[in-house]
Amino acid sequence: MQRDFLEPGGFGAALGNDVSLLMAAVEPCRRILAGAREAGILVIHTREGHRPDLSDAPPAKVSRGAPDKRIGAEGPMGRILIRGEAGHDIIPELAPLPDEPVIDKPGKGAFYQTDLELMLRNSGIETLLVCGVTTEVCVHTTVREANDRGYRCLVLGDACGSYFPEFHEVGLRMIAAQGGIFGWVSSTDEVLAALPK
């Protein structure tokens, strides 16, 4: 989860969003991160961001929003959604360990124009535990992409969040609809209890 989306001085707050709604997911994410590491589960972090020259950002994406709040514009923590800027960093509470891969994704989903699928296949991974923000955008898109590629996805509802609580709730219900139409939803406590010790 990135500073620009979660911290009071970041891009999300500059758009008028209540970042405390996303901060509620940090502690559950920290707990599942610690549990996964202890269980020897491969941990992969993702960040949405673009090259400084925006060559990997579609014009339709760059042109959305107010001109002073578009991708690449100067924001409170550097250029908005640009790799290498302070706002692009993962929050310190969830910082990757040196041996944990970090996927820089130019889209909402973690599979689009990344080597995530190759990393998962090479590691023999078939099931994904997914958490992060926002539920209805990056989480949803990644889970849908993963489902289309044959992965089983378990979304940790309390370790996800949205600036819009109703979107979070509906997003989780959509994932689990019809017996898990493109994934399942659980909680951090339930998953931690099931992890190998």
| Residues forming beta bridges with residue 185, ordered by sequence position | 155
The lowest-confidence range among 2-11, 46-55, 85-94, 187-196 is 2-11
CATH number at 179 reads 3.40.50.850
Is the model's pLDDT at 10 over the cut of 90? no
DSSP element (H, E) containing 177: helix 165-180
List, for residues 123-171, the tens digit of each pLDDT value.
999 999 999 999 999 999 999 999 999 999 999 999 999 999 999 999 9
Residue 20 CA to residue 176 CA, distance in Å, equals: 25
Q: Is it true that the peptide bond before 134 is cis, omega within 30 degrees of 0?
A: yes
Q: How many domains does the chain have?
A: 1
- Residue 173: closest CA among 130, 136, 142, 122: 136
**Mean pLDDT, all residues of the chain:** 96
Range of the domain at 119: 3-194
pLDDT in tens, 21-55: 999 999 999 999 999 999 999 999 999 999 999 99
